[in-house]
Structure 1
Amino acid sequence: MSKIRITKQFTFETGHALYGYDGKCKNVHGHSYKLSVTVIGEPIADKNNVKYGMVIDFGDLKHIVKEEVVDIFDHATVFNQNTPHVELAAELKNRGHHVILVDYQPTSENMVIDFAAKISSRLPENIKLHSLRLQETETSYAEWYLSDNQ
């Protein structure tokens, strides 16, 4: 049976700041992120299976990505927990804002690594995360590929 890749795309709004950075991104700002999630596997060959012919139901993939990434990061502000931004994070939380503290600099590169781990851990055993593409702006994105990380 042939291996097939399928991709589902997601969008979410997230703010962040890069502590110690020497450019404008040291300031709190936000992006309209576009996340493309590509998985690889063999289509289900069992004709009695309701998902016959599918690698994974797009709805099932959507459920995983929404729970692990979109519902958490959408309209949140992300800060590195190991920086003075924790004081700003605490103030924002006290004012009712959705703040996420991570143990990394919240660049697109690091976020896509984080997302890959979260999504991979939820996929069925016979399906692998092939790649992620996190688009931060119209012209800038970070990509993660399984083949580069084995």
Structure 2
Amino acid sequence: MSVRIYKEVHFDASHRLLNYDGKCARLHGHRWRTEVWLEGNVDAGTQILIDYNCIKKLVECYDHQVILNARDPMVECLSQFQDVVTTDGDPTSELLTVEIADMIDSACRSMGLDCRVTKVRVWESEGCYSEVER
């Protein structure tokens, strides 16, 4: 049976945009809201597409983290004191949207689940989000 599910996950994280001329070039934080839609065939035994908690745990890898462009000189400094999540490019909501979709799709394949991400929306703040639809 093919179904579509939705999960919303919140995380708190800071970031800065290395290649941006404006106030977002400074380290600052957000209460990020992530919305994930998945579609596929439920497991015959459990009647579950994917455990909602699995989605939550995957997205929460960003919770209470500093997210920086891997080329940001701040990475080396902060890494002396705490882990830093790095991205290939500036950690914009657009980039995080694609990364989260790819991460969840990869996890589904690794678990042998017959499902895929159809849409991810990442809210950087109220009224501002990025979305990828597949």
Q: What TM-score results when the alignment is normalised by the length of structure 2?
A: 0.86
Q: CA RMSD in A?
A: 1.8
Q: Match of 1:103?
A: 88
Q: Match of 1:62?
A: 53
- What is the aligned length? 131
Can you list the C-alpha shifts for 1:62-109, whole angstroms capped at 9, x where unaligned?
22441x331x21111111112xx22x2222222x23311221111000
Q: Match of 1:76?
A: 65
Q: Match of 2:77?
A: 91
Whether 1:144 aligns to 2:132 is yes
What percent of counterpart residues are identical?
30
Distance 1:22 1:4 in 2: 44
SS in 2 for 1:21: coil
Q: Which runs of 5+ in 1 are unaligned?
A: none
Distance 2:22 2:59 in 1: 27
SS in 2 for 1:19: coil
Q: Which runs of 5+ in 2 are unaligned?
A: none
* CA radius of gyration, larger in: 1
Shift >4 Å, 4+ stretches: none
Can you list the C-alpha shifts for 1:83-141, whole angstroms capped at 9, x where unaligned?
xx22x2222222x2331122111100011111111110111442111111111101100
Q: CA deviation at 1:43?
A: 4.2
Matches within 5 A, 1:26-37: 26-37=25-36
Q: 2:114 aligns with which of 106, 126, 129?
A: 126
* Greater per-residue strand proportion: 2
Q: Match of 1:116?
A: 101
Q: CA deviation at 1:4?
A: 2.3
Distance 1:108 1:139 in 2: 13
